[in-house]
A and B are shown apart, each in its own frame.
Chain A
Amino acid sequence: MSLKEQIEEANKKAVERMMEAEPYLVDTKLAKDAIPGFREDMLLHAGPPITWERASGPMKGAIIGALIYEGKASNEEEAIKLVERGEVILKPNHEVGSVGPMAGIVSANMPVYIIEDKKFGIRAFGNYNEGIGKVLRYGAYDKEVLSRLKWMRDELYPTMKAALDEARKDKGGINFKAIIQQALHMGDECHNRYVAATSKFMNEIAPYLVKADVPKDAFNRVWDFMKNNNFFTLNIGMASAKAMTLAAHNIKYSTIVTVLTRNGTDAGIWVSGLGNRWFTAPSPVPKGVFFPGFTQDDANPDLGDSSITETAGFGGFAMAAAPAVVSWVGGSVEFAVENTKNMYNITYAKHKYFTIPYLSFQGTPTGVDIRLVLKTGITPTINTGIAHKKAGVGQVGAGIVKFPFELFKDAFKAYVETYGA
């Protein structure tokens, strides 16, 4: 069999596994108890590996905030000293099967969702979503941010845990692939628009919150938090996408991309047939729509693991399903349709289960092939939140960004070296 034929076979297998994965939300635990190998002195972060010295403002802000949240530092200065002394291990989420939007910081005592793929038995993890604006994942860490995080740990987490225990007993957990599938028919693309998905999730979880006999006050606060945060299920969708892409990962000879991510300094990718080897290039600055008082000059280079949604065949790749998302990320409805159509040029398949009504229920573009990126020069184009470049400010807008071409070129060079083509 020629290498070209071996690639075809491997890519078919990888993308088939990506589409057939069945991610269920089965449980929630504190990160230190859920994620294998997690250490008390560890902070997980979005994107490829990063050092404190090279980290951008919002990434530094989130690291400082997490250290104060954990009680390891009582203020900004102490937190910085701790990291500078090398007492904090920074590790990419992706290296432990986890994902987090924007800075993506996960510390030992933060709750995480546990996703279990019922088809292939893979587990993936994702942190909780705080809402938009001044939040840790965008680099803010003032009292308001920290007290919200503490409430999430002390009340939201045990409430979700109690409800998910009931859901697991009843039907093995919440089938989140089914929620994504339906939300794509209800105007979400499931990266920057989770309005329908959050609503569907609330319908699913409601009877289990009742069954779990959660105290009425806690129930009301948790319900209001979910209702007022359209991004509540983003992190569950991302962890589901991580489970899907893990199912496609480590397939010998495959040229399919299984990680697309950014840390605010670098963008990075993984390719299925090349294992956990990072290919990196400077992260681009998104172009977008800004909150009042902020401009393009305030924008930090892109960050977050949330582009795992596009890696799995939804998010920005499914923008044609979500015309309303352009009011949040900018562009026009025509652009949304065009972007989806453009992504078919660099993907292996049309998704079997994720479909777009406006395109006559055509499957979403799924499985970026590095060979097609090299051939066409078209790179994955995603939608994203925009963080202020200074630590402590938070989210300032949302927009569109393209992954750098060099990532795919370097990965192809490495592929040729590895497989002796």
Chain B
Amino acid sequence: MSNARKLFDEELKVINVGLKIFYEDLKRQGVRAVQVNYQPPPKLEKELKDKLSELL
């Protein structure tokens, strides 16, 4: 709990994973942030997913 509270007293440094808009908003507010591009893998039917694993 005390560690969590400490977070609010320190300078915020953010690693943003995924949606870039959050990163851009933080940058606009002068927060130190880095962006990690990520999108979840697409959902595929099991049979297709297995075939893909076999052929890739």
Residues of A within 8 A of B (CB): 3-4, 7, 255, 338, 342, 371-372, 374-378, 405, 409, 412-413, 416, 421
Contacts and interface: CB of A to CB of B under 8 A. Distances in A.
Contacts of A378: 39
Given A377-B39, A377-B40, A416 B56 contact: no
A7 B55 contact: yes
Contacts of B40: 377
Given A342-B37, A409-B48, A374 B42 contact: yes
B52 interface: yes
A413 B48 contact: yes
Contact of A371 (B39, B41, B42, B55): B55
Given A338-B37, A376-B39, 7 more contacts: A374-B52, A375-B41, A375-B56, A405-B42, A409-B48, A413-B48, A416-B48
A375 B50 CA distance: 11
Interface residues of B, number: 12
A421 B51 contact: yes
15 contacts: A3-B54, A4-B54, A342-B37, A371-B52, A374-B52, A375-B41, A375-B52, A375-B56, A376-B39, A377-B41, A409-B44, A409-B48, A412-B51, A416-B51, A421-B54
Across the A-B interface, the 4 shortest Cβ-Cβ residue pairs? A377-B42, A371-B56, A416-B51, A4-B55
Contacts of B54: 3-4, 421
A3 B42 contact: no
Give the most central of A342, A374, A378, A409: most B CB within 10 Å: A374
A328 B41 CA distance: 32
B48 A412 contact: yes
Main secondary structure on chain A at its contact with chain B? helix
Interface string B9-38: 000000000000000000000000000010
A256 to B, nearest CB: 14
Nearest to A376: B41
A374 B42 CA distance: 7
A296 to B, nearest CB: 18
Nearest to B39: A377
Contacts of B37: 338, 342
A374 B53 CA distance: 11
B34 to A, nearest CB: 13
A367 to B, nearest CB: 15
A255 B55 CA distance: 10
Given A374-B42, A377-B41, A3 B55 contact: yes
A4 B56 CA distance: 7
A376 B39 CA distance: 8
B42 A412 contact: no
Contacts of B55: 3-4, 7, 255, 371, 421
A41 to B, nearest CB: 42
A348 to B, nearest CB: 12
A371 B37 CA distance: 20
Nearest to B56: A371
A342 B41 CA distance: 14
A4 B55 CA distance: 5
A338 B35 CA distance: 12
B26 to A, nearest CB: 15
Contacts of A377: 39-42
